[in-house]
Structure formats: C-alpha cells, structure tokens
Amino acid sequence: MKILVCISHVPDTTSKINFTENDSKFDSNGVQFVINPYDEFALTRAMWFKEKQGATVTVVTVGNATTEPTLRKALAIGADDAIRVNTEATDGFAVAKELAEVVKTNAYDLILAGKESIDYNGGMVPGMLAGLLDYSFVNACVGLEIEGDKATIQREIDGGKEILSANLPLVIAGQKGLVEEKDLKIPNMRGIMMARQKKLTVVESFVKETSTSSVSFEKPAAKSACKIVDNVDELISLLHNEAKVI
C-alpha cells in the first residue's frame, strides 16, 4: 500500500498571532512552525500502517523552502520520502490541484491529511482533492482500518459516529481518534540522522490561477475586563438580566 500524507507547515499552537504590512501578512517573526497537529494524527496512523502492514509513506507539502524543516521532521518520525511542491500555499483550491497532480503522478492508494490546518482553518483541501480525483472521501475521521483494498472508517458526526466502508483509493481527513495523543511520536536522534539521507523531491507548481485570495487580517476586539462576582446568586442575576443568556 502506498500512502501519501499531506502536511501543513503551521505556527505552533502557543503562538501569538500578529500581522505586518498593513495587516495583510502573517508576522512569522519569532514564531515556531510545526507539523499541523491534525496532520500529525494522520502521519502517526500512516506510520502504524507502515510498521504493521508494510505500507510505504510519502509526505507532501505545498510551500516554499522554509517549510522543509517541517518535512524533515516528518521524515525523522519515519516517513520514507518527501515531496515539496514549490509555491506559496495561499488558496485551498490551488493547493488541492497541486496535490491532485502529485497523486496522479505517483498513484497512491491512500491519502491521509488532517481535517483542517490550524492557520487558515479552511478544512477544504482533503475534500477538494478527493473531488478532483473522484476518490472516495471521509471527513472528520476518527478511526481507520484497512484489510487488502477494503477500508472501514469511522467518522465523527454531531453527537456520535458513523461507520463507513469503501474500497481504496481513498482520501481521509483525520483528527484525534485516528490515533491517540499518547501515540504521537517525537523524533529520536537516529530518526533525525536518517531523515537527512532520505529523499526530498522538489516539484514545480503548475497552478497559475487561484479562486480565493486573502485581502487582510484583523484581530478580535479587545475584551472588557472580567466582572468578578462573589456568589452564585449574583452570577445568575447577571447572566439573566445583563447578559440575557439564561
């Protein structure tokens, strides 16, 4: 089984978010970048298929050269090789088109991604990729088993789960549940050393047009101070009379 894991290079979850150039660009100054946490669940599940079922795992990102340390980290965790599509990722539709080309060139059986990135939170690339390839697609995946070319998939729905089955090829947008938090791997020294030798292929972008573009950013308005109340009667009264939420 050939697996492709799509990785986004995103600011660490603890990052303070600021903008520059008249609020038109994200200020990456002093920000640490990581593998998108949702993609990390997908990558970890892929490593399980590699260890238990002999799958090969390729990681891919769409981004400029600054994203390479993030790909190297995925290689250190255990992916076999990496592909970087050399362009700035600005539009989910364009990213999906770039990835579809990678899939068509290398014929993967299973494409795993996180359900969204924690920077743009578009939640669109996996579904669009499946749409472009006409592959089966499951969003918000919380469980995945594969036997031969048959997959059993759990999807989170509002207030529960749906169990689905499909044949490969398949696109999965995953989240926690696909693997547990404790299963996530920190690269060890040997992995880091080996990652330096692994193949990282740079392919050129072919998409010329985008369907959306970012105009500007805005930070949420500053909050007024918290009202500290002494007892629950006062709280109930404020929630009822002032906030009008109960």
Interface with another protein in residues 72-91 (CB under 8 A): 91
Q: Binding residue for another protein (CB under 8 A) from 136, 191, 194, 198?
A: 136
Q: Binding residue for another protein (CB under 8 A) from 65, 107, 157, 186?
A: 157
- Do you know the residue count of the chain? 246
Contact 92, 128 (CB under 8 A): yes
How far is CA 132 from each of CA 5, 16, 99, 137, 209, rounded to the nearest angstrom?
Answer: 17, 35, 10, 11, 16
Q: Which of residues 194-223 bind another protein (CB under 8 A)?
A: 210-220, 223
Q: Binding residue for another protein (CB under 8 A) from 30, 54, 148, 160?
A: 160
Q: Binding residue for another protein (CB under 8 A) from 69, 104, 105, 164?
A: 164
State the Cα–Cα distance between residues 127 and 172, nearest whole angstrom.
Answer: 9
Q: Report in angstroms how near the CB of residue 27 gets to another protein at its nearest.
A: 11
Q: Is residue 66 classed as helix, strand or coil in its secondary structure?
A: helix
Q: Which of residues 88-107 bind another protein (CB under 8 A)?
A: 91-93, 96
Q: Report in angstroms how near the CB of residue 235 gets to another protein at its nearest.
A: 6
Comparing CA positions, the residue from 74, 38, 37 lying closest to residue 57 is: 74
**Cross-strand partners of 200:** 82
Comparing CA positions, the residue from 72, 69, 114 lying closest to residue 95 is: 114
Q: Binding residue for another protein (CB under 8 A) from 65, 163, 186, 189?
A: 163
State the Cα–Cα distance between residues 235 and 232, nearest whole angstrom.
Answer: 5
DSSP code, position 182: G
Stretch that binds another protein, among 46-54, 58-66, 68-76, 158-166 (CB under 8 A): 158-166
| Largest CA-CA distance found in the chain, in angstroms, rounded | 66
Comparing CA positions, the residue from 49, 47, 36, 34 lying closest to residue 7 is: 36
Query: And the tokens for 5?
Result: 């894991």
Q: Does the footprint of another protein cover residue 52 (CB under 8 A)? A: no
Pairing of strands 150-157, 160-167: antiparallel
Q: Does the footprint of another protein cover residue 243 (CB under 8 A)? A: yes
Q: Binding residue for another protein (CB under 8 A) from 63, 78, 126, 174?
A: 126
Which of residues 5 and 95 has its CB atom nearest to another protein in the complex? 95
Binding mask of the shown chain, residues 137 to 156, with x at each position contacting another protein by CB under 8 A? xxxx-x---------x--xx
Q: Binding residue for another protein (CB under 8 A) from 166, 194, 200, 203?
A: 166
Number of residues forming the site for another protein (CB under 8 A): 80
Q: Binding residue for another protein (CB under 8 A) from 118, 200, 203, 207?
A: 118
Query: And the tokens for 108?
Result: 């993967």
Q: Binding residue for another protein (CB under 8 A) from 189, 204, 226, 241?
A: 226
